Structure 1
Amino acid sequence: MSSVAPHHSRRLRVLWQRLSEPTLVRRSVASVMVAFVLVWAVLLGYNYLKYKQAITYDPGMLKYGDAVLESLADLPDASHAAAALASTDHWTNVRRRQTGLLPGALMHELRDGASGRLVYAASGLQGMDLQPPRDHAGSSLTETTVQGQPYRIYAGRNARWTLRILEPKRPDADYLHYNGRTLVPYLLLAAPFVLLPVWLSVRNGLRPLQQLAQRIAQRSSDELQPVGFHARHRELKPLEQSLDALLARLRQKVERERAFVQDAAHEIRTPLAVITAQAHVMARSESAAERTEAQAHLEQAIARTSHLAQQLLDLAALDEAQRPAPRDMDVAQWLRAALAQAAPAAMAQRIELSLDAPDSVPARLDATALESVVHNLIDNAVRYAQAGGSVAVGLRRGSGMLHLSVQDDGPGIAPAERGKVFERFYRGTGHAANGSGLGLAIVRQAARRMGGQVQIGDGLNGQGVGFFVSIPLPSPAWVPFLCPTPSTPA
């Protein structure tokens, strides 16, 4: 018995979860029910408006009073007229009670037309403070309030009699309550004939979507080929196309990352082999000169490996979806500090560094991405420039954009290679300097992360090469502050 109760409880929980889980079928049925409520409200409002028009211009009450008055015209005797009107009063109110549609009772009053003497009055009129009937020909319908109760009053007159009929005016709340209840059975009767087709149509309409979901669920985790569903319905085609486009982007990303890993492994293998060989020479060689030379090659290989590892980390960080929040900074002051750090390497090769920038350029930027752009462009320019050459850095702000340029007068890049230099691990030909081939790939990725772009162009004085970066800028909420010193160039 102890094992049956928990099992039963689990089944109840599963059943409750299924019943409480939102479904499109249930949502569609609920929408139809809401539509029924709206229909009910519209019909009730329409009937109410018709009712208000009817009681304002009620020909029924006038016709009834005129008919009673005409039936009394042939009864000149007051007792006979009183008996006939009493019978009419009794029969009319019995019918009102039987139908239950109208509130209260009609009250008839008959007077002699010549003398105004009261001939008959319903019992309900006793004690009512009524104004005497107006002396005019024909019939009329008015509204008044007697002792706090609203009434509609018919008044008619012929050659012999004066007739008044009082009818209690129905409150609007009573009318709405009664007619609201009257409409409900009709809507309940129509509901199954509407809900069943809706339920069937929604269930049948969702079947292709369920088939698409099953096909996706049956795919393995590494299968990134198109879904191949071939949707026939126009509503499903955008979903299938979006899924195929997403899979294509994922497939390209996986292929790119796989190629990146292979290239990274190949690039790291070379300096590691050098490290191994030179360490072997240092351990086995008896010549001090050979050990010194091996140590120099070893340090160079270690530096190259460290530089490559740092660039791989930078590129991986730029590829991450999560981005640091931009911060306010003075780009001009920050750029001067970055050039100061690059100055020793430039002076070692007798390269002149120059900066053309305003005194202050406040902006809100992704500082990490900007640092990757600036350091890699300046490092490339200094690395590949010829001894005694020049590297010019420019900075300006205009039209909501930040424009950064780095130009040199070195050997430049052949036009045929300019479209490839931003690819990972691509190194151009004809350069003596060694590099990892990742610097410009990092620049492009960092510029894209800031929403900008980088273009390649001409260098200084018709020589060398230039890189031009454009970055969109939001409106800065900038307050002057001390600029942090940039980190060591990658």
Structure 2
Amino acid sequence: MNIIKNGWRWLIRPTLVRRLLFWQMLLLILTWSFSLMYSMTDDNVGSEFPKLNQSYILLTEIAEQLADTPDKQQSFIKRFDLALQKDYGGDIPGFAYRIMVWDGNKLLYQSPELPTDLRYQQVEQFETLCSANDNSCWNAYTRQQPDSKIKVTFLATKLETWLIYATIHTQNFYLLPLITSVPLLLFPAWLTIYLGLRPLNRVIHEISQRGPGNLNDLSFRPKHKELATIVDNINILLQRLRTSNARERSFIADAAHELRTPLAAIRIHVEALGQQVKDMRSTELLTGILNSTQRATRLVSQLLNLMRNDVTDRVSISSIDLETLLQERLAILSNLAWQKEVELELLSEHSLFIDGYREGMISLIDNLVENAIKYSPAESTVTVSLLKAGNNIELCVKDQGPGIPPELRERVFSRFFRAPDQTENGSGLGLAIVHAVVLQHQGTIELANRQMDGSGLKVTVRLPAAQPSGSQSTD
């Protein structure tokens, strides 16, 4: 059933190649239809008359040489008439040529199907002869040699267009060629379309290989006018995005830098004032101000980290020993874990390296572990594990907190987004920074429940392992 369903989806899914094939085949059918109808029109049927030169000469000789034996003359002309009809349209009723043979103005012979009241009017010219008996009309052409009294009139039925179309259908002159030729033309048509779209496929391949942070111009610019226009407009859009992102990063970075100084000054003054205040109420107010200042300072620090991780600086790439870096960061964060009465546990394999950005990885580890500590209950354990999985290195952080509902796990990577039922203080930038670092290192991140009952959170980060040549150096 899945094969049938997938095949049906593939069949009905619109594609540019299938669209081009459809219009090519439709154009072929229309061209064949109109060309066949045109070839069967009166002017084209009658245009064959001058080509019957040998038939005219033979008929003239028969009429002249057998003039003394009328019976034999009639017999030979009749046999010639039947042969002529067979060779010129005898397989299609109504299309066969007919003849009239004259000796001066005396009618020697006419095809049995012709009306008896038809008479030629001009010699060596096309004309239309109509019968008053049955209202039929015929295209005619009469020939006569200068030294002979014998005249031969060739006639063809004057048909309406609809009758021509019906006739070629009934005789398989229309469907049979299409049935046999269209399947044979499908592969050449597909091949020409495929080869013609190769430059477009190169553009698509370059776009698909790019990371979300790469806003540089497309390097491949085809020479073809249509594709070159598309690539130029894409590059213009990328330039606008670069300008907009640079302006945004510059504004946030400048604002964050400017805010750090007054926030630090406020904290110093509040701490100094707290040493002089003795009453309980003022101490509580100053403590609230100090806590708010600390949150604002952390927000500024997070903004600066986010701006740094949004910019890829290839010069700063180095080989990082993740086990050593984890030990360093967990040692620094152990004081926060002690205050929250949370135990930190590290499970790691030895000598696991990645090629990346040290500052970015510090931000990633700090944010994941700080979040796990902050949302874990007292006397619980936060487990950090590091292991090799194929060509990737997996970093897992597990806590025993409330977890994140499945419907919010994509949104938590957005900047400043926080779950509605959160009770802990935060800026909503931690997971956004983690996500930016993961993308910067061409990795993936996954959120899942730690326990079957939905409690706890397991964050799994997969990063490409360093190449063997880079695994010898330490960071």
Fold match by TM threshold 0.5: no
TM-score normalised according to structure 1 size: 0.44
Q: Which has the larger radius of gyration?
A: 1
